[in-house]
Structure 1
Amino acid sequence: MLNQRSSFLSNIAVLGVICSSVGLGAFASSSVAAASESSQSQVSFTFGALVAKMKAQAQDAYVEPTSELPEALAALKYDGYRKIGYKRDRSKWKDTENFRVHAFHPGWLFKNPLKIHEVSEGAAQPFVFEAADFDYQDAELTASLSDVSFPGVAGFRLLNPLNVEGRMDELVAFLGASYFRALGAGNVYGLSARALAIDTASGKPEEFPNFTAFYLGKPVDGSDKVTVWAELDSPSVTGAYQFVFKPGQQTEVDVTAHLFFRSDVERLGIAPLTSMYLYGENDRVGFDDFRPEVHDSDGLKLRFANGKTAWRPLSNPDNLQLSFIGARSPVGFGLMQRDKDLENYQDLEARYDKRPSLWIEPLGDWGSGAVMLAEIPTDQEINDNVVAFWSPNEAVKAGDELSFHYKMYWGDEVGRSEQMLMPVVQTRSGKAGHSASEESSLTRKFVVDFDAELFAESGLDGEQLVRAKPFIENTALNGTVNFADVRYIEELGVYRVFLDVSRDDLEVPVELRLQLTDGEKAVSEEWLYQWGWSS
């Protein structure tokens, strides 16, 4: 389940390996032949027809994709691949105002070429890419690939003047299985999304569905949106997806998914998110590193139909850690990078302070289920070790057809509650008791800070905030709260809660919950935390 996409995509962005536009059919060695092939392959296209195609495909047995790469492409190694960049003067859609398409080169890890089409005026035809589209930065490699026909590409990216008018910056990249990543204005790449998760952390091998073909809707001049359609295939499911991207401070993506199941699925994950959390202020034990924090995301945020907002700080546990937060048709959930202060990271290259948050807003009734959070132990920041998704309660059986509609928001934290609730800003932990207390693996102190700014907007001054000490509502499943207190710290502008918790069994995780109220209604987010088990 550990995934090294986090490091890879960041590295290729830095190294200039430019992604995007997966192609269909044999890539011709000359532009004349390419144009001829493209015109002859034009077919009508609608999303409805794509849905019908994938529904019919689910009736057939799954066929494992086979590599069709010529030997020169299949033989590419990391050292050669990392040098390859897409030439900006070879961009597709140079005749449009707001979007460009680039391709990821096939080869190295990406041996199964993808098919990509351009859709314009209701007709689809294959994009054609060739060696002349890429800068190899290596004369020998350039010569060896100059006459090679490409049967497809590894993935694609879309560019847009996201940050500066007139400058095309990366907006979204699709590369590998059903993974993709997008950016809001001012962000750098961080967490990823997937189309679907199957049997994640279920005790059986996880299945990774693949996007097998893409259809890119060519935007009309002046359009601020672009549509991507995709085919999904795996042993258990086929699917038809529609993504409508609207770039901005928070890039909005409207997602429609139609799924057709070939077989039973034990654990289905809808709108899965994948991120990296190495350590933060709550658990940096064991890391000899000058950087105070290292993570792409620092918490899971949830909003429920009853108006409640919850915050679950992420952790890097000693053992696989699963949390299930049940609700009927949640208002929203997502992995946030709430801490945006460079001083708290001290990393001038990775710029974790600029990593985006990703908020999922379900549309329509998703029924009963739970948001599942999986936290996987890791000792390296190259591994994606955090997964979150919505998992329906109802079992998925062979022959089932499911549809989901939701919006994604990529950028600085979104999904804030309409209520004036104090957000959690820091979580710390250490030995329970006082400085002279003996350390015990059966006791732990948790210190949680809530930003008091919103509470102060009620008109209370510092002295009144001290006297208006909120009530603490807390529980500890499989544990006992032995001490709880809250204090207003004017210098920091926070309410700080202290909890001393004990447990009887090291092999049973302790689920903690606390919230501040004014005696009647909530005045803070609900803080959730899992004090993990030890083997």
Structure 2
Amino acid sequence: MTRPSHLSRRTALKYGLGGVFTLLWAEARAQDPQPQPAPAAPQQAAPAQPAAPPTTVDLNAFSFDALSAALRNRAAQPYQEPPNELPQPITDLDYDHYRRILYRRDQTVWANEPLNFQMQAYFPGFLYKAITRIYVGDGAHFQPQVFSGANFEFLAPLDPSVFQNIQLPGVAGFRLNYPLDRPDLYDELVSFLGASYFRALGMNNRYGLSARGLAINTATTTAEEFPRFTAFYIVKPQPADETVQIFAELEGPSLTGAYAFLLKPGPQTVIDVTARLFFRGEVERLGVAPLTSMYYFGENDHATREDFRPEVHDSDGLFIQRPNGERLWRPLKNPDDLALSYFAETSPKMFGLLQRDREFSHYEDVQAHYEMRPSLLIEPLGDWGRGIIQLVEIPTDSEANDNIVAFWVPEERPKAGSQYEFRYRMHWGYLDEMRSHVASVAGTFAGVGGNAADTSDTGLRRFEINFAGGTAENLPGDAIVVPIIDVPDGARLVHSGISRLPGGGWRLSIELEKLNASPVELRAKLSFNQRIISETWLYQWTGRP
């Protein structure tokens, strides 16, 4: 049974730019959970059950279509702020006290049944005063899963007697555990906590990036909204089941949504998502399948302060695969100013934030183990039409802040009464299947240009891009590999060259001069005998001339 450090420093980030907009990442970062043996039988009877809370749908005639119809009807009504249903001792909790509350192992749901999945809840309070309700059933019939203070441990300096008899009107969220890495230990598999945030693990991963149900007006001149999951309907798995089905209600000022999640754990944990959205009003920017991660510094973006670690990041690049098979790789960076990148696409085959660098020596962090953070790919199901993949990079001075966001923006802007359905498949894990016949970008290194022995400011910038894998590695060392480099107005290509890497692969070297202060979008790829043999490397250069 997983016993995570319930709440860490990476709980919330507020970022403002002249008061224009605010981004709030309200998620728990239960970092690096350690697996525990399966729990013993409960030591005490469950507390008395309070009256069942109000529901959106008939719990004895449930279906995803019925849930969707109920959420569609709710979207026709004005939005109402959720009431504060928590008693005073809970609403008074601060960070230091909240993190001292843990779910009791002997109260784990389904722990004494022969199932592959177990469930635990998150206590409400601190940032999580807007509660969610949980129902459990067989898919057509559900019952409220009610929690109380007796389901939790309250560590010193908290007084357990203050909390243990409190009947909770709801919880902050929940997590599902599964024997992911060892058959005798239940590891944390997926966690839903805070607004519409959730995260999952593949085999031998540690928590890193997160996903959200939806992003509304992120990085716009309009205040960002954070719709939240207000209820979950969990289909109780049967013995030997290797999947679990979850339905959810989403609500915010601008919309409601009905969600269906089908989770299948494994070396790469797969979550199939169906999102049906119903809009109360127009939104400036709809972000579908949003991903949130952290990039502090790395090989192409060095730390501004002394740090013994060579790199610190949960993800190192944005990956896009187009329907024609073209693969794009955009290394992440920690910019000096807010950086926005837009990639126009038509029904992309896949996109996501990856952690490609898996070498411990590239991080040298025996606690965080950034080399073990999962990648996350979004595979759209069906035709998503035209739109953009937007990448938001926010400057940060700490690895405690999630400063990277990526999501799909459909071409059509939602209006009052608009209805959308998006289906997609999420792949969490190491994603070794990403290998292809074309070479991948294995590293991007950046620094000052000019003669290495010249210490004066040359005004030049040098990029060294390593390409590895694919059939390009089988080429002889004297093969004539030709770079295709696109440098738009605003910069000038001074020099380029191709070299063979030790052990295989190829290095593209380019040296550039900046002509003005506007951002420059660079593109490069390799060809041989007029055939493309690599991914397309993308980079936004924001330096001044």
Task: Please report the TM-score for the alignment, with normalisation by the length of structure 2.
Answer: 0.89
Task: State whether structure 2 residue 262 is matched by structure 1 residue 262.
Answer: no
1:397 to 393, 404, 415: 415
Aligned: 1:514 with 2:524 = yes
Q: CA deviation at 1:533?
A: 4.8
1:312-331 correspondence runs (5 A)? 312-331=330-349
Partner of 1:187: 205
In structure 1, the gaps of 5 or more residues are 17-28
Distance 1:398 1:165, change over 3 A: same
1:67 aligns with 2:84: yes
CA contact (8 A) 2:279 2:415 kept: yes
Alpha carbons of structure 1 residues 75 and 273: separation in structure 2 relative to 1, 3 Å:
same
Secondary structure of the corresponding residue to residue 54 of structure 1: helix
Deviation, 1:286, is 1.1
What are the residue-to-residue correspondences of 1:130-169 with 2, within 5 Å? 130-138=148-156, 141-169=159-187
Query: Deviation per CA, 1:423-461, whole angstroms, max 9, x where unpaired?
Result: 11110111122224465585311111111564234xx4x
Cα distance in structure 2, aligned partners of 1:138 and 1:436: 60
Does structure 1 residue 215 correspond to structure 2 residue 233? Answer: yes
Partner of 2:48: 33
Question: How far apart in 1 are the matches of 2:403 and 2:281?
Answer: 27
Q: Tell me if the contact between 1:319 and 1:533 (Cα under 8 Å) persists in the aligned partners.
A: no
Give yes or no for contact 2:250–2:256 (8 Å, CA) kept in 1. yes
CA contact (8 A) 1:469 1:488 kept: no
| Residues 135 and 142 in structure 2, CA contact (< 8 A), matched pair in contact too | yes
CA gap 1:471/1:141 in 2 versus in 1, 3 angstroms? same
1:3-14 superposed matches below 5 A: 8-11=28-31, 13=33
1:356 is matched with which residue?
Answer: 374
Indicate the percent of aligned positions where both proteins have the same amino acid: 43
Instruction: Report the Cα distance in structure 1 between the residues aligned to 2:445 and 2:27, rounded to whole angstroms.
Output: 27
3-state SS in 1 of match to 2:49:
helix
Q: Following the alignment from structure 1 to structure 2, what is the Cα–Cα distance between the partners of residues 157 and 14? A: 15
Quickly say closer, same or farther: Cα 1:12–1:452, change in 2 above 3 A: closer
Deviation, structure 1 residue 148: 1.6
Q: Report the aligned-residue RMSD.
A: 2.4
CA spacing shift, 1:234–1:7, aligned 2, 3 Å: closer
Query: In the alignment, residue 423 of structure 1 is paired with which amino acid?
Result: S
> Is contact 2:473-2:504 (8 Å) kept?
no
1:67-87 CA-to-partner distances (Å, cap 9, x unmatched) read: 210011111222221121111
| Match in the other structure for 2:127 | 109
The alpha-carbon deviation at position 403 of structure 1 amounts to 0.4
Shift of 1:119: 2.0
Amino acid aligned to 1:359? L
**SS state of the match for residue 89, structure 1?**
helix
Pick closer, same or farther for the CA change 1:446–1:77 going to 2, 3 Å.
same
1:293 counterpart (307, 311, 329): 311
State the shift of 1:246 in Å.
Answer: 0.0
Q: List gaps (5 residues or longer) in structure 2.
A: 1-13, 16-22, 37-43
What SS is found at the alignment partner of 1:404?
Answer: strand
- Choose between structure 1 and 2 for higher RCO, CA contacts under 8 A separated by at least 6 residues: 1
Q: Secondary structure of the residue that 2:531 maps to in structure 1?
A: coil
Counterpart of 1:21 in structure 2 is: none
How many aligned positions are there?
513
Cα distance in 2, alignment partners of residues 14 and 351 from structure 1: 13
Q: CA deviation at 1:522?
A: 1.0
Tell me, yes or no, if the aligned pair for 2:296 and 2:303 is still in contact at 8 Å. no
Equivalent in the alignment of 1:446: 463
Map residues 428-439 of structure 1 onto 2, 5 A cutoff: 428-437=445-454
Q: Where does residue 53 of structure 1 map in the other structure? A: 70
Q: Residue 201 of structure 1 corresponds to which residue in structure 2?
A: 219
Kindly tell me: are residues 254 and 453 of structure 1, through their superposed partners in 2, closer, same or farther at Cα, counting changes over 3 Å? closer
- 8 A Cα contact 1:363 1:405, kept in partner: yes
1:505 equivalent in alignment to 2:516: yes
Shift of 1:345: 0.4
Instruction: Classify the secondary structure of the residue corresponding to 1:168.
Output: strand
Q: CA shift at 1:43, angstroms? A: 3.3
Show CA shifts across 1:29-52 (max 9, x none). Answer: 9836318859x9953311111100
Q: Helix, strand or coil for the counterpart of 1:44?
A: coil
- CA shift digits 1:319-364 (9 cap, x unpaired): 1111111110000001000001111101111110100000000010
Cα gap change, 1:36/1:380 in structure 2, threshold over 3 Å: closer, same or farther? closer
Aligned-pair CA distance for 1:64: 1.1
Residue 58 to residue 533, structure 1, CA distance change in 2 (3 Å)? farther
Which residue of 1 is the match for residue 11 of structure 2? none
* 1: CA distance, partners of 2:263 / 2:135: 17
Aligned to 1:423: 440
Inter-partner Cα distance in structure 2 for 1:201 and 1:415: 33
SS in structure 2 of the partner of residue 68 of structure 1: coil
Partner of 1:26: none
Query: How far, CA to CA, are the matches of 2:528 and 2:191 in structure 1?
Result: 46
Contact 1:6–1:276 (8 Å) recurs in 2? no
Contact 1:358-1:409 at 8 Å conserved across structures = yes
63 and 328 in structure 1: CA distance in 2 versus 1, 3 angstrom threshold: same
Hey, what does 1:472 align to over in structure 2?
483
Secondary structure of residue in 2 paired with 1:151: coil
The question of whether the paired residues in 1 share the 8 Å contact of 2:514 and 2:543 is answered with no
Quick check: 1:128 aligned with 2:128? no
* SS of equivalent residue, structure 1 residue 502: strand
Shift of 1:297: 0.2
Separation (CA, whole Å) in 1 of partners of 2:77 and 2:401: 35
Q: Would the alpha carbon gap of residues 292 and 139 (structure 1) be closer, same or farther in structure 2, given more than 3 Å must change?
A: closer
- Map Cα deviations across residues 85-132 of structure 1 (whole Å, 9 max, x no partner): 111221112324100010001112211121110122511111011111
1:379-398 to 2 correspondences below 5 Å? 379-398=397-416
Tell me, yes or no, if structure 1 residue 241 matches structure 2 residue 259: yes
